[in-house]
Amino acid sequence: MRIFFTYQGEVEKYFLNLDVSESSTVAEILKLPSVKSILDSITHSITIGVNGEILDGVFKPIPERYRLSEGQRVEIYRPLKQDPKERRRQKA
């Protein structure tokens, strides 16, 4: 099955097409050598999501329990530099 991995850092941008087994979890994807090398280079705290939804264990399962489907995108999020609400206030 084909899934995608993406990380959009401040300088580096990664988008990988990965062929994995049908029963792969997000945690297994994060252990793949190509993905692990990217994660090792990240210096900030890591938040993981799938197709724009954060895997937090509350509304969506934790990465160890989330089974991926064909075509899903695993995303690594970086912290925001500025609060969007504050930015809109400054523009107004």
Query: Under CATH, domain 2-91 is a member of which superfamily?
Result: Beta-grasp domain (3.10.20.30)
Q: What is the pLDDT of residue 90?
A: 82
- Note the pLDDT of residue 91: 78
Confidence of residue 3 (pLDDT cuts 50, 70, 90): very high
pLDDT of 89 reads 83
Mean pLDDT of 34-55: 91
Q: What is the DSSP string of 16-84?
A: EEEE--TT-BHHHHHTSHHHHHHHHH--S--EEEETTEE--SSSS--TTT-B--TT-EEEEE---SS-H
